[in-house]
Amino acid sequence: MKILVFGAGPLGSLLAARLFQGSHEVALLARGVRLGDLKKHGVALRRWPTEKTEFVRVPVVTSFSSKDTYDLVLVVMRKNSALKILPLLSKNKKVPIFLFLMNNAAGPDAFIDALGKDRVMMGFPGAAGYREGHTIVHLNGSPRRPAEIIVGEINGGISSRLEKITQELGKGLYIEAAIEPHMDAWSKYHVALLFPSLVPALYLCGNDNLRMSRTRDALVLAWRGIKEGFSILKKLGYPVRPKYMNRFLLMPEPLAVSFLGKLIKNPRMEVAMIRHAEVICDETQQLNAEFLDLVEQSGMFTPTIRFLIDQFNKKAQLLPDGLQSIRLRWSEILIPVLIISLIVLILMYML
């Protein structure tokens, strides 16, 4: 398959290299300093945290024109950047499918308006990485931890072309491609999990995951933001995706806050979240604005989300390290325990 990867950032570079190693005919579009790095070194990859660097000589192009022919164009970049290149992409009528791999809360309408509904597919690059000089430091896309590409049709369901594209992407080295029949819902829940909740809470701790792990107020705010975001989407009729997130939401707040603290403390968060959060202020603002549109549609009261977004946009003062001023909702544990105890006592009395 002839593939163009539009976006030579950490994830675009990683996916281009792995698809090229999987015997696809791949080109990576790059400009400026990044173009010079790629011409000199190729795609330099180093698996976090300690393995040596590998170099993959992916063919590089510097432009995309109306005459270019590819079987598939992968757009791997931030949502706000992808919106800017739509006029350029729309001039090409030869490419049959543009697959946008990114965070997205607003749905596919902007892409459909520019390219037509038959040429748009949405997805998400299930990998993490950051650029260190000319080298891409990555967490996924390796033998023990493959990169998972989630792909779906804009109207949901499973089509023959979706199956074909997923199969072809899965031929990439250390890539697993998966079909998501509710891609728009999946994208919205993923945004809710991170951008109006975890990302601004992390900002309030100076983008320091260890500081956040010991600052209970930040963890409480993040958890309540996640729950508010999920409640909005459920009210608007979006099925929870992935399904296992339903079980996650059943956790009582004290347990959930403890879980988040341990999760955010994991050293892998440096690659999976911290390094990314440091450079995505523009994307965060874009996605939070999109999510606030969903909040307005729902008509729900969302004090935590609005507080967190406001604090992020205003670059508010950081929370004191270790702050624990917000009361945990212990009733989420005590009430179920009391009900269970009462049922046991009744059964004992009846026996």
Residue in 258, 269, 242, 26 with CA at minimum distance from that of residue 148: 242
**Three-state DSSP class for 132?**
strand
Residue in 116, 193, 115, 102 with CA at minimum distance from that of residue 152: 102
Whole-number percent of the chain with pLDDT over 90: 86
How is the beta sheet containing 54-56 ordered, strand by strand? 54-56, 43-47, 135-138, 129-132
Domain 2-181: homologous superfamily in CATH: NAD(P)-binding Rossmann-like Domain (3.40.50.720)
CB-neighbour burial class of residue 103 (10 A; exposed 0-12, middle 13-18, buried 19+)? buried
**Segments of the chain assigned to CATH 3.40.50.720:** 2-181
For residue 341, what are the contacts with CB-CB under 8 A and spacing of at least 6? none
Strand 129-132 to 135-138 pairing:
antiparallel
How high is the pLDDT of residue 250? 87
Mean pLDDT of 207-220: 97
Locate all alpha helices (DSSP H) within 194-330, ordered by sequence: 199-203, 209-214, 216-235, 245-249, 253-265, 269, 275-277, 281-298, 303-313
pLDDT tens, 60-111? 999 999 999 999 999 999 999 999 999 999 999 999 999 999 999 999 999 9
CA gap 298, 310 in Å, rounded? 19
pLDDT class for 337, splitting at 50, 70, 90?
A: low
How high is the pLDDT of residue 170? 96
pLDDT tens, 183-211? 999 999 999 999 999 999 999 999 999 99
Q: How many H helices and E strands in the chain? A: 16, 12
pLDDT class for 333, splitting at 50, 70, 90?
A: confident
pTM of the model: 0.93
How high is the pLDDT of residue 335? 62
Mean pLDDT of 129-135: 94
Reply yes or no on whether the pLDDT at 262 is more than 70: yes
Cα angle 148-163-101, degrees, rounded to a multiple of 5: 40
- Whether the CB-CB separation of 220 and 257 falls below 8 Å is answered with yes
Mean pLDDT of 126-149: 93
Strand 120-126 to 147-153 pairing:
antiparallel
Q: How many residues does the chain have?
A: 351
The upper half-sphere exposure of residue 263, i.e. CA atoms within 13 Å in the direction of its Cβ, equals 13
How high is the pLDDT of residue 303? 97
Reply yes or no on whether the pLDDT at 340 is more than 60: no
CA gap 253, 283 in Å, rounded? 29
How high is the pLDDT of residue 172? 96
Reply yes or no on whether the pLDDT at 336 is more than 90: no
112's tokens:
């459909």
What are the Cα distances from residue 343, in Å, to 150, 190, 336? 44, 38, 11
